[in-house]
Structure 1
Amino acid sequence: MVHALEQRRQVRQLAAELAARGWLPATSGNLSVKVKADPLCIAITRSGADKQQLTEADVILVNGDNQVVDETPYRPSAETAVHTQLYNKFGCGAVLHVHTQYNNLVSDAYFEDGGVELTGYELLKALGHWEENARIRVPIVENFHDLNRLASAVAAVADPDVPGVLVRNHGIYAFGQSADEAKRHLEALEWLFEYHVRRIQFAAARRRLEQI
């Protein structure tokens, strides 16, 4: 039997850090770390768990068919299929899904465009974009109630060069080759969303002041 103590610990540590930032409010969000690739096995947060107080039992082992391979009374996150599709597509090492005000604002404001463009920001380097005047486009998909449909939509637009996918009025899935890399990608994307929104707000306020 696979115990995956280290991966469970990583999930719990990530949950504590991200919850402390207010990114996993009201038991929302889900986090996973890959245990092994072939056959796929991941450690993922259970459904309905308070991410600030996860115990080892709150992190469940699931296979590539979204089936629990643990002895547990709990159910894995309802969005497990999104995670497994990303692992199957990229062979990534961790997938992090959080809900923040800024990623929700951006996902709603730019949904009709299919994505939000972020250009020239220094923190794009944290996503691997060191080129001058770097530009990325973070894709946005509809918040489908059918979670298998949501999983397919996220996987379809996910791009290793832009390690995150927004879901309209819902949150973001960020991924990386390790838990540390996924966290770095998530932190960078969240900072970029907040700065992008605040920059627009500041520009609008400045125009209003100039008209007085």
Structure 2
Amino acid sequence: MVNHSLTAALEAAGAQLAAEAARFASFGWMRGTSGNLSVVLSRVPLQLAVTASGMDKGELTPSDVVLVDSNGQAVGGGRPSAEAALHARIASLTDAGAVAHVHTVASVAMGHRHPDKIVFQDLEMLKGVGRPAEHEQVLLPVIANSQDMDILGNRLEAAHDPRMPAVVVAGHGLYAWGNDLVHARHHAETIEWLLELELAAHT
């Protein structure tokens, strides 16, 4: 049973998720119905608002959101993204308040080229993920894809570096997270810029 305060929080989250999804879709990062976003509404128990499955992310409304539990299962109806369980796993593992998953060409291409990790160094944009701009190699983990969210979550947890708020899933796309949706968006945009640069530099 969803209480009234949680319903109000879900509606507010839906409006924010719709706005952020439209922004990502305008970049071409959520083509078709791909990609998904989430925001944590409760820590105990863990509950997240996740974009609904099968929806055009450029046309979401505040009602196109589903409340899910720590296993990514819907609470009170609706059909969440198939990857809701991974969003919940990331939120639990990292204490993130929001997760962004986008399907970008650069993340998929670079994941194929570097199936374990992608290395960045001496780039000013690294400051955007809280890392030094000089003299230090910064590693972005890459994990193999799976349609089983338990397997994918285990791979992400094994590869997780608390200093890097993102991971590339080979053949799939980019997951980035942050304290809130805006913070997660900034991390996604920063990592995508770095991936595009590396892709262009070695083409």
Whether TM-score is above 0.5 comes out as: yes
Aligned positions of 1:23-102 closer than 5 A: 23-70=29-76, 72=77, 74-102=78-106
Q: Are the counterparts in 1 of residues 14 and 61 from structure 2 also a CA contact under 8 Å?
A: no
**Larger Rg: 1 or 2?**
1
- Distance in 1, Cα, partners of 2:133 & 2:170: 29
Residue pair 2:122, 2:133 contacting (<8 A) in 1 also: no
Deviation at residue 131 of structure 1 after TM alignment: 5.4
TM-score for the superposition, normalised by structure 1: 0.89
Aligned-residue Cα RMSD (Å) equals 1.3
Determine which structure has the larger helix proportion and give its number: 1
SS of residue paired to 1:172: strand
How far does the alpha carbon of each residue in 1:81-100 deviate from its partner, in whole angstroms, 9 at most, with x for none?
Answer: 11111111121100000001
* Counterpart mapping for 1:44-193 below 5 A: 44-70=50-76, 72=77, 74-111=78-115, 114-130=116-132, 132-193=134-195
The CA deviation at 1:177 is 1.2
Do the aligned partners of 2:37 and 2:100 also contact (CA within 8 Å) in 1? yes
Q: Distance in 2 between matches of 1:142 and 1:33?
A: 25
For each residue in 1:171-203, what CA deviation from the matched residue of structure 2 results, as whole angstroms up to 9, or x when unmatched? 0110111111111110000000001111122xx
User: Structure 2 length normalisation: TM-score?
Assistant: 0.92
Partners of 1:152 and 1:48 in 2: how far apart?
25
The residue identity in structure 1 corresponding to 2:170 is R
Q: Partner residue of 1:18?
A: 24
Q: Contact 2:144–2:170 (CA<8 Å) still a contact in 1?
A: yes
Query: Is the contact between residue 16 and residue 62 of structure 2 (CA under 8 Å) also seen in structure 1?
Result: no
The offset of 1:130, in angstroms, is: 3.0
Residues in 2 aligned to 1:15 and 1:49: alpha-carbon distance in whole angstroms: 11
Q: Which runs of 5+ in 2 are unaligned?
A: none
Cα deviation for residue 159 of structure 1 reads 2.2
**Unaligned runs of at least 5 residues, structure 1:** 202-212
Q: Is the 8 A contact 1:9 1:56 kept in 2?
A: yes
Q: Kindly indicate whether the alpha-carbon contact (under 8 Å) linking 2:96 and 2:180 is maintained by their aligned counterparts in 1.
A: yes
Distance in 1, matches of 2:162 and 2:13, equals 22
Aligned-residue offset at 1:134: 3.5
